[in-house]
Amino acid sequence: MEIAKEIKDFLTTRRARITPDQVGLPAGGRRRVAGLRREEVALLAGVSAEYYVQIERGGVSGVSDEVLDAIATALRLDDEETKHLFTLARAAATKPRKRKPARARVEMPEPVQALVDAMITAPAVVQNGHLDIVGANALGRALYADVYDRVDGAPNLARFIFLDRRADETFPDWNNAADDAVAMLRVEAARSPYSAAVTGLVGELATRSDEFRTRWAVHDIKAHRRGTKRFHHPVVGDLTLRFEALEVASAAGLTLYGFTAAPGSSSEEALRLLSSWIATESSAHQHS
C-alpha cells in the first residue's frame, strides 16, 4: 500500500463531502471541485495553503498532532476517521519493512479457543485483521456454516462476501455486510501497510469484484464494535443477533465476536434449534 496515496485519497474524499455553507464559508462562483477546496480546509485548520497541500499529498513527516487534530476538526472527521488519519500518519513515518510471506494457516491460541468453547449458549467467532475466521465455538461454526463449507481451512469473510454467489443468502443485509468488510480492511491496511496478507487480499478482491473496488475507492471508515447482524441459516432460517466485538489482549490482531439473541425472540428460539441440530449432527457422526 502506498501510504502517501492513501493519505491523499482519504483527505480528498473527506473534503469532497463537505460544502462551504456547512462550515460557514461563501460558496463563490463556479467550483471546479466537489466540496471544499484545499485552501478552504487550510483556512479552517489554521495552516497555510501550501502546508495543507503538502500534507494532503502525503508529506506528513514532522506534522504535529495538533495540526492533524485541526485538520480532522476542519473536515468534521468522526472518532474512527480521526484515528485512521493518525494511523496513516504514523505509517508514513515508519520505515518500510520487507514484506513477509503470508502464512498459509493462522493458528488459534489454545487459551482463546478454550474460552470460546466455554461459551455454550452464544455463537462466537474469532477473526484476524484481514477477516480470516481463525476460530469459533460449535454454535459459531454452525452459524457460519455456509462460509465454512465453501473452503478448506480458515475461511475469509471478505472473500466469501464479495466472491461467493450465496453470500447475499447467508447475509440478507448484504450491502451492510459488504460495507463493514471493506471498512475493517481499510483499518487493517492502515495499521499493517506492509502486510503481504492484507495487500494480497485487497488486490485479489479489487481485481475480481466491481462491488469491492467501488467501495474501496470511497475510503469510508467506521467502528465495528457492536450492533446487530442478520443471518439466514439453511436449517433454522432467519436470525437477527446482537454482537459485541472484544479485542483479544493476549493475541494481538485477533478480535472475538460474540452473538446473542433478544430474550423471547424468534432468533432466540432459532439459536436453541441450532444447538439441537449441532447435537444431532454430532451424535450421527459418532454412530456412523
Question: In this predicted model, what pLDDT tens digit does every residue of 13-66 receive, in sequence order?
Answer: 999 999 988 988 887 767 777 799 999 999 999 999 999 999 999 999 899 999
E-state strands within the chain: 124-127, 133-136, 226-233, 237-247, 255-260
Cell of 269: 428460539
Residue 226 forms part of a structural domain: yes
**How many domains would you assign to the chain?**
2
Residue 28 forms part of a structural domain: yes
Same domain, 80 and 114: no
Percent of the residues in the chain that have a pLDDT greater than 70, as a whole number: 93
Residue-wise over 173-201: b if at least 16 C-beta within 10 A, else e?
ebeebbbbbbbbbbbbbbbbbbbebbbeb
**Residue 101 CB-half CA count within 13 A:** 3
Q: In terms of residues, how long is the chain? A: 288
Cα gap 4→9, rounded to integer Å: 9
Please tell me which residue, 2 or 285, carries the higher pLDDT value.
2
Q: Helix, strand, coil shares of the chain as percentages rounded to 5?
A: 50, 10, 35
Show the domain range for 17: 1-94
Same domain, 282 and 142: yes
Cell of 168: 447475499
CATH of the domain at 199: 3.30.450.180
CATH of the domain at 41: 1.10.260.40
Cα gap 225→219, rounded to integer Å: 19
Same domain, 254 and 116: yes
pLDDT value at position 1? 64
CA angle 242, 248, 253 (to 5 degrees): 105
Q: What is the CA radius of gyration of the chain?
A: 22
Residue 149 forms part of a structural domain: yes
Question: In this predicted model, what pLDDT tens digit does every residue of 241-258 receive, in sequence order?
Answer: 999 999 998 888 899 999
Listed residues 42, 70, 94: the one ending a domain: 94
Same domain, 250 and 147: yes
Confidence of residue 198 (pLDDT cuts 50, 70, 90): very high
Is 134 in contact with 148 (CB distance < 8 Å)?
no
Q: Per-residue pLDDT for 192 more than 70?
A: yes
Residue 104 forms part of a structural domain: no
Listed residues 31, 59, 94: the one ending a domain: 94
pTM value > 0.85: yes
Same domain, 81 and 118: no
Listed residues 94, 125, 141: the one ending a domain: 94
